[in-house]
Amino acid sequence: MKRRVGLHALYREDPLAADRAAFGRESDPLSRRGFVRGLAAMGAVLGAPIVFHSAMPAGLIPAALADTPEPFAFPGKDPRLVVLNDRPLNAETPPHLLDDPVTPAERMFVRNNGIPPAQVDPEQWTLSLRGESVPKPKSYTLAELKRRFENVSLQLLIECGGNGRSEFLPPASGNQWTLGAVACPSFDGVRLRDVLEDCGITDGAVYVGFEGADRHLSGDEGKQPISRGVPMHKALEPESLIAFGMNGGPLHPLHGHPLRLAIGGWPGSVSGKWLTGLLVRDRVHDGEKMGGDSYRVPCEPVAPGETVAPEDMCIIESMPVKSLVTHPATGLRQPWDHPLAIRGHAWAGDRAVSRVDLSLDFGQTWTATELAAPANRLAWQRFSATLSLPSPGYFEVWARATDSAGVAQPMVIPGWNPKGYLNNATHRIAVYGV
């Protein structure tokens, strides 16, 4: 009996063998001479000849074949989200559904570590503050937070640290996110800094951890599904919020209603949902998913598949520069002699994006885009451009962002790490000129 293997799994096991199995081509990764053989088969699968085939890297799944969406059906969420796991619930958003300048709640990805609270009463909700660096523990009701502190609205980039994990080789464990674990809604809330200062924290404060009302998958009340945090310098930034709303309305139940943290530019795991407590620590927080290899990468580069000792792993902080083409959807077919409108978003963790460039010929040449300023610090930036296809056929649009420090997205998958974090390789979509 033959075993059926999906295209992504086939390419993860052996990209060059996948070229031969999927398209019958003999690939020579050094000279690419072998790419000429088997192009007829690949073109038949894609439905058009690959115009810049001589520049196409070996072992590369065509972008036209890279997306396999499945239905998603939860109240208040777009049914086109792709479910990766149902216990806990995790789902991502296809890139073309992220074209809005401000991400709607129904199109925001879902990343859960535990089971959300079944019942929530905002009027009875309280937030406690305690820890080694809080001289006197304190608590606030939701109404007190809204009344006592300045209310602000900021658009903040939230991205799962494992966004893009599915592309790492050898494969990394965890949800196999492709590109859609990112969003940039507008959060309504109060500054975390204002609440911390109101508590009179000591000079020895080092870290702020969080506690939430979500339950551990085991049902054990003594276990927390996640309790992460950020160092004080990040907690005290004016963009770090305790949020009670999103896009002018209440938080969606899957996104932390009635209270959450919104810490832009760092992995989404630090933006705790269903927030019930803040722990102001005199040391690096040691809560659930702060140790081992959770949200950590090797402090120094390692060979793919290498075992890394816990002491050689460093906590992820600012996320790397990245871009996403949100229009058109991959697989577009249009007359080849018509202008091709491209737009999308770019972001760079704590930094700003300085430029975004596009390529039609697998990275041989690049065209600069028009790049807008962010709505505020730590929001994504809109880019747009109009390209011209040179002939009928199959093309891939690649997007590469460069941040304010001059760091650009890599053309290929960046350094391997055990949990498949921080994949910021250039995004690409398929386009057919007909």
Residues 167 and 219 in one domain: yes
CB 106 within 8 A of CB 96: no
Residues 102 and 177 in one domain: yes
Residues 24 and 113 in one domain: no
Q: How far apart are CA 331 and CA 366, in angstroms?
A: 21
Residue with the bigger pLDDT between 34 and 293: it is 293
**Other beta carbons within 10 Å of 170:** 11
Assign residue 47 a region: left if phi > 0, alpha if psi is -120 to 50, beta otherwise? Answer: left
Is the per-residue pLDDT at 82 higher than 90? yes
Residues 209 and 277 in one domain: yes
Residues 117 and 39 in one domain: no
Cβ neighbours of residue 92 under 8 Å, at least 6 residues apart? 81, 82, 84, 109, 163, 177, 178, 179, 180, 181
In single-letter form, the type of residue at position 92 comes to: E
Residues 280 and 330 in one domain: no
- In this structure, what token pair is assigned to residue 286? 């040691």
Domain limits for position 92: 82-315
In a domain, 65, yes or no: no
Strands 126-130, 110-111: pairing is: unpaired
Residues 264 and 393 in one domain: no
Name the pTM for this structure. Answer: 0.87
Report pLDDT digits (tens) over 157-204: 999 999 999 999 899 989 999 999 999 999 999 999 999 999 999 999
Report pLDDT digits (tens) over 282-298: 999 999 999 999 999 99
In a domain, 71, yes or no: no
Q: How far apart are CA 145 and CA 86, in angstroms?
A: 33
Q: How far apart are CA 201 and CA 114, in angstroms?
A: 30
Q: How far apart are CA 133 and CA 121, in angstroms?
A: 30
- The helix/strand/coil state of 244 is strand
How many structural domains does the chain have? Answer: 3
Cβ neighbours of residue 14 under 8 Å, at least 6 residues apart? none
Residues 114 and 241 in one domain: yes
Q: What is the mean pLDDT of residues 255-265?
A: 98
Among 315, 340, 361, residue at a domain's last position: 315
Q: How far apart are CA 368 and CA 323, in angstroms?
A: 14
In single-letter form, the type of residue at position 192 comes to: L
In a domain, 254, yes or no: yes
Q: What is the CATH number of the domain that holds 415?
A: 2.60.40.650
In a domain, 367, yes or no: yes
Residues 110 and 185 in one domain: yes
Confidence class for position 27, pLDDT limits 50, 70, 90: very low
Mean per-residue pLDDT of the chain: 90
